[in-house]
Amino acid sequence: MKRRELLQTLACAPALAVPHLAAAVTPRTLTAAPATLAAAGQASLPVWAYDGQVPGPVLRYKRGAVLDLTLHNQLPDPSTIHWHGIRLPNAMDGVPGLTQAPVAPGERFPYRFALPDAGTYWYHPHWGTPEQVERGLAGALIVEDDVPPPVDLDLVWLLDDWRLDANGRIAENFYNFHDVAHAGRLGQRVTVNGKVDLVQALQSGQRIRLRLINAANARIFALSLEGLDAWLIARDGIPAATAVPWEGELLLGPGMRTDFIIDASKPGRHVLKDSYGRGERALATLEVSGKASGARPAPQPAQREPLPEPDLARALEQRMLLGGGAMSRDGWPQESTAEREARRQRQIQGAREASPVWTINGQAHMSHDREHAAHASEFRVPRGGSVRLTFENNTAWWHPMHLHGHHFRVLSRNGAALPERPWRDTVLMAPRDRVEVAFVAENPGYWLIHCHVLEHHAGGLGTMFEVQG
């Protein structure tokens, strides 16, 4: 049955339609609160958790369903939830001081919006983000395909790292100048779904979908898996045009996601490895039992409604020059002596606030708490207009650049066109990279563009734009 016929049938059959619609909107509460639990290799680690779990519960919905979720904030700090990668109304985007008031301790805030696109997304706070995400507040948001690629198991692995101090607790040195000005906060303990030694048992012959989410503050993963046939089928939730065999290392920056199809064709232990930076480390293991099974044909990525296609001939062109950071003289923010002194005093008194270190087009857009609304939009575009952004990384550091509320096509890197022009919501830039992206500005409101190394954003590496409705 075609979708329209199905909807008509349901419309004529209230007895059927009611449970169907009821299933589409199931209100729920999500509580953010301190907890002590086993995580990151520690038997009892004080964390901040959604519903007492680290990572937070996997939220699963059908495409087109309405997410109806009330955040109950039981943290000692204000918070919000940002729905990373979802095309949603601006008022639901979770940016404090810009799209909503921060949710004070003890208070609640209802999030309610339709989920237009299937895929692998995630949710996290957008207040005090470097601290709140590091303490454990992050979870997967899965929107199921209308017709998913057939698999035996659909796994969600949320990758993270943790910086523990000498007592085995989460180190409290959030926002320190070194992290902010260099590669961000890297932790020595790397986990998958909060565990250091995750093992997934599989039967030979099974085909699985593996959804990987990089929820680390700053760590880039260089992922490889040897011995099993695997294909990339989606980036940042959006299906690839064709399945791409997974060979060698795949870079996954903070905020980014990749969906793989993997065939458990050979028995034995197959280790997902990260080889970013120095050395190589095991992240998790697929343990296949049974007899070897034959190779299977490549899978097909899910089919879906196309995203709105940017009109490059008429697009607004906008340059985004990334500057500042350690080992560079260019692009450091201007701060008057009085401003610097006032900030130092606040920091000495314990304000959880970074120093301005990074700029976009010469401006530091600090992400801590209330400051978003204090900034001017970098550009304005009428609703439905196309935008072409050129990111130029004039720094010595990597930056996963993220756009709120929209998906963009990645057109080129360092002058070389990317034939598939993949859709993403976060694009990883190496030092000195130049990357062009394009998108249709769909939803009225104010939207952030920022580096997803959370310490970089805290140190000014962000901006925003306005879609005029």
365 binds ligand C2O (CB under 6 A): no
Which pair of tokens denotes residue 68?
């109806």
Q: Are 441 and 405 in contact (CB under 8 A)?
A: no
3-class state of residue 210 by DSSP: strand
Does 209 sit near ligand C2O (CB under 6 A)?
no
Site for Cu ion in 362-401 (CB under 5 A): 399
Distance between CA atoms of residues 259 and 248, nearest Å: 16
- 442-461 positions binding ligand C2O, by CB under 6 A: 448, 450, 452
Angle at 464 between CA 316 and CA 335, to 5 degrees: 120
CA separation for the pair 80, 368 (Å, rounded)? 13
255 binds ligand C2O (CB under 6 A): yes
126-145 residues in contact with ligand C2O (CB under 6 A) are: 126
Q: Could you say which DSSP state residue 26 is in?
A: -
Figure out which of the listed residues 404, 407, 424, 456 binds ligand C2O, where binding follows CB under 6 A: 404
450 binds, among ligand C2O, Cu ion, none (CB under 5 to 8 A by kind): ligand C2O
Residue 103 binds Cu ion, judged by CB under 5 A: no
Judged by CB under 6 A, does residue 424 bind ligand C2O?
Answer: no
- Residue 399 CA to residue 391 CA, distance in Å, equals 10
Task: Find tokens 């996290």 and name the residue.
Answer: 124
The Cα–Cα gap between 250 and 422 comes to 15
In DSSP terms, which residues pair with 423 in a beta bridge?
409
- Residue number with CB closer to ligand C2O (402 or 424): 402
- Contact between residue 159 and residue 221 where contact means Cβ atoms under 8 Å apart: yes
Between 126 and 456, CB nearer to ligand C2O: 126
- Using CB positions, name the residue nearest to ligand C2O: 84
Interaction between residue 406 and ligand C2O (CB under 6 A)? no
CB of 259 to ligand C2O, least distance (A): 18
Angle, in degrees to the nearest 10, between helices 3-12 and 14-24: 120
Q: Which is nearer to Cu ion, 99 or 265 (CB)?
A: 99
Near ligand C2O in 80-99, by CB under 6 A: 82, 84
Residues that bind ligand C2O (CB under 6 A): 82, 84, 124, 126, 255, 402, 404, 448, 450, 452
Judged by the rule CB under 5 A, the positions of this chain that interact with Cu ion are: 84, 399, 404, 451, 453, 456
